[in-house]
A = this chain, B = another copy of it.
Amino acid sequence: MNNNINIAVVGLGQIGNYLVNELNKKKRDIEIKTGKKIKLIAISAKNINKKRKFKINKKIFYKNPLNIFKIKKVDILFECIGLSDGISKKIVESALKNKIHVITPNKALISKHGDYLSKLAEKNKVNLEFEASVAGGIPILRTIKEGLATNKINKVYGILNGTCNYILSEMESSKDSFSNVLKRAQKLGYAEPGNPKLDLNGYDAFAKIRILSSLSFNKNISKSKCLMEGIENIEFKDIDIADQLNFRIKLLGITELINNKLFERVHPCLVKKNSYIANVSGVMNAVILHGEPVGESVLQGEGAGPGATSSALMSDLLSILRGNIKFPFGVSSKKRKHISSYNLSNYSNSLYLRFEVNDKPGVLSQITQSLAKRNISVERLIQIPDHKNKKASIIIITHKTNESDANKCLKSFNVNRNILKAPTRIRLF
C-alpha cells in the first residue's frame, strides 16, 4: 500500500456527514499512528442540495457513486447508504471487484450478503470491514476476531437495539404508553420518523445476531429466522407488573450452540432487576459473551448515533492502513462451517403470560384447564380486576414450558370469546 491513501465516502446522511468531519479532524493523528496520509477524493449522495450541517465540496461530489471508480483511483471506500440491496450492494460489489477496500456500518447488507461479499473481498485480496454494523461504539467484532481469538465461544447475548432499549426504559421511568414513548423517541432521533418497524419488530437486532453468530462460531451466515419477536406488543401494564415481580423487560438478542445446533433468537425477555443486563438502560448497548478459557466478558457502550458509529468506522480504517489484511469473518471463507439450526420446538422456558378477559365466572378455570391440558404448569398467578369495565388481567408465570406446547395452547385461546385479545407472551431469561 502506497503512503498516500485515497478515500471515498458514499452516502452523506447523519453517519456519512459525521464521518467526513472525523476524517478531516483526525488526519494528523492517523498519520502518526499508521504513517499513511489520507485524502478524501470523492463523496456521493442522492441529493447534493439537501439541507446539511456542512458545506459539500462540489469538486469531489458525484451524483452517481458508480462513476467514482471510472474517474478516480480510490483505495478505500466507505459505504454509508444503508439497506441490504440496491445501490449499496452494487457499490460495495463494484468496489471489491476493483480491488478497493470497503468499510461499512450496513448490518442489513452484511447479514444478507456477507458470505458472498467476503468471498469477493478475499478473492480480490482487499478488506471488507464492518465493525460498525453491530453495537456501534463497542468494538465487539474486533474483540471476537482478535482480542478473544482462540476462545471457544458458546454463547453471546445482549442488548443490540438502542431504540427498543430506550423505549422500554422510558416506558418504565415515565410510566407512559408504548405509542407515546415511540413518538418521543422519533422526535429525539432515536427511532426512524417514517418507518420504525425494522427496529421495533426485532429485525435489526436479528441482523446483528446473525453477524455475531458467524464470527463467534466460525460459520456461514444463517438464512432462517429461528425466533424473532419485537416489542410492539409490550404495554406499560407489562412493564408495571414485571416491576412488581422484580423483573424488567428487555429486548435481547441471543445466539448459542446447543448440542452443536445453532439457536439464534431475538425477543423481549423478563430479566431479574438486579442482573447486569437489566441495568443497561436508554440507548446503550451491551454484549455478554461466554468463552473458554476467558469466562464471561461484558462490553457496554453507545450502540448507535453518528459518534459511536464513526468510532467503529475509523477503527476499521486504521486496521486497513496498518496493513492488517484479514479475512472479513476472521477465517477464510472456505474454513467457515455450516451449522444447522436448533429445533425450536425442543426449546423450553418459563413464560410470562398476560390475558385480558371478561370478568365472568369460569374464565380463569378455562385458562388454567387449557394450560394443564398442554402440560403447562403455573408457578405464579396474579389477577388484576378492572371493576369499572367488568374486565380483568390475568398474569401467569409458568414453569419451564415447551415452545410448541405453548404455541398450541396460546392458539387455542383464539376461540374463547371471554379472552379479549391474543395473550401477551414474554419469555423469562
Contacts and interface: CB of A to CB of B under 8 A. Distances in A.
B146 A142 contact: yes
Interface in A262-297: 276, 279, 286, 291-297
A98 interface: no
A348 interface: no
Nearest to A305: B295
B318 A293 contact: no
Interface string A122-158: 0000000001000001110011001111110000000
Contacts of A314: 149-151
Nearest to A136: B294
A104 interface: no
A18 B142 CA distance: 25
- Mostly, the A contact residues are mixed
Interface stretch (A323-331, A358-366, A403-411): A323-331
A142 B147 contact: yes
Nearest to A308: B294
A292 B307 CA distance: 8
A297 B300 contact: yes
A29 interface: yes
Given A142-B142, A322-B324, A150 B26 contact: yes
A300 to B, nearest CB: 4
Nearest to A35: B332
Given A147-B142, A276-B279, A294 B307 contact: yes
Question: Taking the full assembly, how many copies of this chain does it contain?
Answer: 2
Given A29-B150, A147-B143, A301 B295 contact: yes
Interface string A185-223: 000000000000000000000000000000000100000
A33 interface: yes
Interface residues of A, number: 53
A116 to B, nearest CB: 21
A71 interface: no
Contact of A139 (B32, B138, B143, B292): B143
Interface in A25-84: 26, 29-30, 32-33
Nearest to A141: B147
A382 interface: no
Nearest to A318: B149
A335 B32 contact: yes
Contact of A32 (B22, B300, B308, B331): B331
Contacts of A323: 324
A149 to B, nearest CB: 4
Contacts of A317: 150
Contacts of A148: 137, 139, 311, 315
A229 interface: no
Nearest to A276: B279
B315 A150 contact: yes
A93 to B, nearest CB: 26
Nearest to A31: B335
Interface centre among A151, A291, A302 (most CB of B within 10 A): A151
Given A138-B297, A298-B298, 14 more contacts: A33-B149, A33-B150, A33-B331, A137-B148, A139-B146, A142-B143, A142-B146, A143-B147, A147-B147, A147-B315, A150-B317, A279-B279, A295-B308, A297-B301
